[in-house]
């Protein structure tokens, strides 16, 4: 029922409407969801209490209202449908058991496919903070999610050990993601077990890079083969490198950088089949910075110092922290601080993580559109406030029909 004095809006052009519709249906319209579900072989009958499309949107709502029980999420999601007359007839709130069975039947594939279909780079030429010259700034990083301590999760994903080699309380799933630095939009991700390293998962994401991208990465992503794989599609790279790696000076450049070469670890002595890179070394001085035993070292595929001076690249590298912020938004603010995912099976865990990625992308899409229209840097907008506003509005203006 509407609150006293509340009337059904005459137009859906208001910002509040865009938030509600945008979160669940504007970014992921029903037609797209139905197509993806059908392509994954999960299509079902519309007369069922929980047809596949509704289950997809329920998973998104479950991630939006992280921490709420199944039945409460269903109530929140459908609260505004009755008075808004979005469908004819009645729809009872499913039980927890029914929702659990529907999630199992749906599986993770439709959510993964929906993310692959919908998650695209958001930055336009007018997007502030997204570009360095003609390069679109992209960063890659990895993280882990704690998952429920079930036998299935522990056997599939693995359980880390503490520094005292004791068993950790929860199994963990590893994720590596690509994100636009200017918009914080995560545009590609790969999930794996703890046995799979971040560089191995990263290889599966390099196909999303191309000419005009500048990929930033920290010291965890290193090695000649990974470097060549990341740049194979035409993307340029700017990576921090470990201090012990040997980088012989081949040619000194006017801006203080120098040309060097990297080789495979097995060819360190012979230095066979090298790849030329440009090296930028720098230090951070001042009372607010820790003491450094060695300078920071970056390597890049941009060999021309006139195209990208060393001082600018050194400053630009710190944009890599934008992906750390995006992952913090996803894991701390959206999922909830120190919360464990709710799914007790590997398929449920993967479905839930893809749901979280989709919800984060939808919120970031709305923030990007708002910032571009206002000619603001997206960093000026609050993710937490956008998340809270989306939660309030989706309960009043749900936009799909069971």
Tell me what the mean pLDDT of segment 165-186 comes to: 91
What pTM does this model have?
Answer: 0.88
For residue 44, give the nearest of 107, 106, 96 by alpha carbon: 106
Q: Is the pLDDT of residue 402 over 50?
A: no
Q: Would you say the C-alpha torsion 120, 50, 31, 76 has a positive or negative sign?
A: negative
Cα 160 from Cα 164, distance rounded (Å): 11
Report angle CA 210, 331, 154 to the nearest 5 degrees. Answer: 95
Task: State the helix-helix crossing angle for 52-64 and 109-118, rounded to 10 degrees.
Answer: 80
Grouping H, G, I as helix, E, B as strand and the rest as coil, residue 184 is coil
Question: pLDDT grade, residue 10 (50/70/90)?
Answer: very low
Q: Which helix (H) or strand (E) holds 192?
A: strand 186-192
Contact 147, 342 (CB under 8 A): no
Cα 44 from Cα 373, distance rounded (Å): 40
Contact 183, 139 (CB under 8 A): no
Instruction: Give, rounded to a whole angstrom, the gap between the first and last alpha carbons of the chain.
Output: 18
Grouping H, G, I as helix, E, B as strand and the rest as coil, residue 167 is strand
Strand 251-252 to strand 236-240: parallel, antiparallel, or no bridges (unpaired)? Answer: unpaired
Lowest-pLDDT choice from 5-14, 199-208, 346-355: 5-14
**Contact partners, residue 322, CB within 8 Å, separation at least 6:** 137, 139, 179, 181, 182, 184
DSSP lists the bridge partners of residue 258 as 252, 279
For residue 356, give the nearest of 370, 378, 381, 339 by alpha carbon: 339
Q: Is the pLDDT of residue 362 over 60?
A: yes
For residue 378, give the nearest of 28, 141, 126 by alpha carbon: 126
Instruction: Give the pLDDT score at 389.
Output: 82
Q: Is the pLDDT of residue 360 over 80?
A: yes
Structure tokens at 127: 């997007």
Cα 106 from Cα 140, distance rounded (Å): 30
Looking at per-residue pLDDT, the higher value among 2 and 237 belongs to: 237
For residue 353, give the nearest of 176, 155, 100 by alpha carbon: 176
Give the other-Cβ count within 10 Å of 329's Cβ: 20
Looking at per-residue pLDDT, the higher value among 126 and 6 belongs to: 126
Question: pLDDT grade, residue 54 (50/70/90)?
Answer: confident
Provide the strand spans (E) within 235-365.
Answer: 236-240, 251-252, 258-262, 275-282, 296-300
Q: Is the pLDDT of residue 160 over 80?
A: yes
Cα 108 from Cα 160, distance rounded (Å): 24
Look up residue 25 and give its DSSP letter. I
pLDDT single digits (tens) 368-391: 998 988 888 898 999 999 998 888
Contact 270, 283 (CB under 8 A): no
Tell me what the mean pLDDT of segment 341-369 comes to: 96
Return the CA Rg of the chain: 24
Q: Which helix (H) or strand (E) holds 227?
A: helix 224-231
Contact 185, 179 (CB under 8 A): yes
pLDDT single digits (tens) 85-116: 444 445 577 888 989 999 999 999 999 999 99
Cα 137 to the center of its chain, rounded Å: 15
Contact 178, 218 (CB under 8 A): no
């Amino acid at each position: 029922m509407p609150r006293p004095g509340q009337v059904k809006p005459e137009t859906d052009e208001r910002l509040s409407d865009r938030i509600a519709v945008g979160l669940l249906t504007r970014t992921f319209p029903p037609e797209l969801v139905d197509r993806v579900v059908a392509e994954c072989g999960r299509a079902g009958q519309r007369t069922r209490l929980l047809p596949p499309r509704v289950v997809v949107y329920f998973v998104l709502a479950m991630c939006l209202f992280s921490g709420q029980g199944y039945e409460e999420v269903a109530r929140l999601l459908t609260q505004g449908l009755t008075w808004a007359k979005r469908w004819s007839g009645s729809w009872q709130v499913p039980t927890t058991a029914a929702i659990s069975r529907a999630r199992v039947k749906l599986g993770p594939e439709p959510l993964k496919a929906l993310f692959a279909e919908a998650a695209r780079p958001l930055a336009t030429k007018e997007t502030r903070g997204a570009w360095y010259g003609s390069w679109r700034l992209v960063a890659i990083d990895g993280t882990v999610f704690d998952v429920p301590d079930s036998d299935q999760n522990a056997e599939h994903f693995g359980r880390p050990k503490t520094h005292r080699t004791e068993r950790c309380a929860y199994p963990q799933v590893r994720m590596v993601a690509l994100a636009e630095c200017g918009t914080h939009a995560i545009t590609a991700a790969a999930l794996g077990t703890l046995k799979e390293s971040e560089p191995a998962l990263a290889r599966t994401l390099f196909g999303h890079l191309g000419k005009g991208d500048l990929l930033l990465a920290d010291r965890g992503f290193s090695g000649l083969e990974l470097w060549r794989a990341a740049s194979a599609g035409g993307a340029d790279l700017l990576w921090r490198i470990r201090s012990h790696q040997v980088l012989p000076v081949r040619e000194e450049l006017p801006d203080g950088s120098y040309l060097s070469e990297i080789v495979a670890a097995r060819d360190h002595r012979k230095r066979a089949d090298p790849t030329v890179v440009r090296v930028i070394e720098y230090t951070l001085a001042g009372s607010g910075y820790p003491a450094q035993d060695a300078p920071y070292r970056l390597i890049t595929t941009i060999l021309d110092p006139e195209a990208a001076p060393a001082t600018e690249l050194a400053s630009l590298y710190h944009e890599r922290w934008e992906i750390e912020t995006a992952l913090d938004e996803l894991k701390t603010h959206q999922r909830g601080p120190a919360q464990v995912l709710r799914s007790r099976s590997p398929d449920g865990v993967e479905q839930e993580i893809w749901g979280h990625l989709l919800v984060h992308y939808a919120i970031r899409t709305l923030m990007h559109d708002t910032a571009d229209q206002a000619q603001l840097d997206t960093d000026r907008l609050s993710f937490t406030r956008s998340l809270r506003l989306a939660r309030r509005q989706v309960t009043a203006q749900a936009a799909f029909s069971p």
